[in-house]
Structure 1
Amino acid sequence: MTTITYVRTGLIAILSLFIAACSGLPSSAEMPPASELQAEPYMIGVGDTVSVHVWRNPELGQSIVVRPDGYISMPLMGDVKAEGKKPEQLAEEISATLGEFIRTPEVTVMVTNPLSKEFRNRVRITGQVGSPQSVAFQPGMTVLDVVLMAGGVTDFAADSRAVLHRQINGEYQSFALDLEAILTDGDMRTNHGLQPGDVISVPRKQLLRGEL
C-alpha cells in the first residue's frame, strides 16, 4: 500500500469519527418507553363520521361525515366546526347553541367511524429499505417488525445510523437506532416497541464516512 493510500485511509477514519461525534443524536436507549406515554383523548378529524343525538328532538339528530374543511352542518345551527375537538366538547358547544332555539337541550356526540384515526395511528419507515411503508400500528409492534415488513435494508443502507423520530409533547425528537446490530448480531437493545406516529429513517451510505 502506498503512502498516499495510507494517508487517505487515515483521513477517512478521522473524518468518520468526527462526524459521528457531531451527530448529536441521543441513543434510543434514552427514549421514554411507549408504555409510559399516556394515550391522548380522541380528537375528531376530517373524514370521521359523527352521530349527534338531541334528546327528545330526534329531528335535530344527525349522522354526518366531517367535511374536508373540518365542519359539519346542523339543523338550526348551520355549519359547526368539528375538527380538532373532543366529542364531549363538540356536544357542549352544540348544546349551548341549540339552547337559543329549544329548551334545555341534551346533546350527545359519538364518533361512529373514526377514519382519521387510521392516518394518525400509523408507523412509517423511509429511506434505504426494500419498500418504504406506511403501516397501521398494532400493539406490540417493534422496530424489527417494521423493518421486515419493509423488506429489510438495501445494500446501500447505512443501517447503523438509522434514526427513530418520535413525537413527544407535540414535537418530534430523533433517536439513534442500530439496525446493523439488530439484523446482523441479534443485538436487540435498540429494537424498541413502537407507538403511533413513529417514523424510522434509514440513510444511505456515504463515502466521506468510509461506508463505501
Structure 2
Amino acid sequence: MHPILRMTLSAGLVLLAGCAHRPVPVPEEVAVPQGDYLIGAGDVININVWRNPEVSASVPVRPDGKITTPLVEDLQAAGKTSTQLARDVEKALEKYIQQPMATVTVTSFVGPYNQQIRVIGQAAKPQALAYRQGMSLMDVLIAVGGITDFAAGNKANIIRTVNGARQSIPVRLQDLLRDGDISANVAVLPGDVLVIPESWF
C-alpha cells in the first residue's frame, strides 16, 4: 500500500474511532438525574429472605405501586430503592421471623412514570420505555423498532418539562435513521415524550 494512502486510511480510522465514543450532549439547562434506581409499577422484583426460602419470592409491582409476598400484603414498593424496600420487608416480617435479613433485586425494569420515555405516533412499536442513564434518541428509536413509512420523521418533537415549564424540542428522525446524520442524535431525559407525526403526502 502506498505510504500516503496508508497514512490517510489510519487517520480516517482514528477519526471514526473518536466519533464512535463521543457522548451525546445534554442541554446545559437540564440536569440529568443521578442516584439509585427507583422501583416503579410493572417492575418485577425478587425478594430473598436469608434462611427462609418459603417467604422468598419473585413478584410484580402492581399498578397501584404495591406488592404482595408470603406473609406480607400490600407493601408499598413504587418510588423506593431496592435497599429501602428490603428494610420495609424485614420490618413487616419481624412479626413472624426473628431478625429477618432480606435483599431485593429488580429483575425487570419499567421505573416510575415520571422516569419513563414515552413514544407516541408513527413509531413501529409506540410504547413507554424505562430511562437508562446516557440514553439517546437513537437508543429510543432502536427500542421502538424505528418509524413507519407514514412518519414525518423530521417534523417530530420531544415534549420535555423543565422547572414546571413544557418545552417542544424539534428532532430530525429521518435524517438520523435514513441518512445516518449523527448530529441529529440528541440526549433524552426521564419524562420525555417523543411525538412522531404522520406525513400528509
In the superposition, the TM-score normalised over structure 2's length comes to 0.56
Q: Does structure 1 retain, via aligned residues, the 8 Å contact 2:116–2:192?
A: no
Larger Rg computed on CA atoms: 1
Among candidates 86, 90, 99, match of residue 94 of structure 2: 99
1:174 maps to which residue?
A: 167
Distance verdict in 2 for CA 1:133–1:106, change over 3 Å:
closer
Aligned length: 171
Quote the Cα distance in structure 1 between the aligned partners of 2:171 and 2:56.
53
Structure 2 portions without partners, runs of 5+: 1-24
3-state SS in 2 of match to 1:173: strand
Q: Does structure 1 retain, via aligned residues, the 8 Å contact 2:137–2:185?
A: yes
Q: CA deviation at 1:179?
A: 4.2
Q: CA deviation at 1:88?
A: 0.9
2:157 maps to which residue?
A: 163
Letter in 1 for 2:62: R
Q: Quick one: percent identity of the two aligned structures? A: 29
Letter in 1 for 2:57: Q
Among candidates 47, 51, 55, match of residue 46 of structure 2: 51
1:192 maps to which residue?
A: 186
Q: CA deviation at 1:65?
A: 2.2
3-state SS in 2 of match to 1:73: strand
3-state SS in 2 of match to 1:89: helix
Q: 1:32 and 2:28 equivalent?
A: yes
Structure 1 portions without partners, runs of 5+: 1-28, 206-212
Q: CA deviation at 1:108?
A: 0.9
Counterpart mapping for 1:1-212 below 5 A: 31-32=27-28, 37-114=32-109, 116-117=110-111, 121-126=116-121, 133-134=126-127, 141-142=136-137, 146=141, 149-151=146-148, 163-168=157-162, 173-177=166-170, 179=172, 191-195=185-189, 197-201=191-195
RMSD: 4.7
Quote the Cα distance in structure 1 between the aligned partners of 2:159 and 2:74.
37
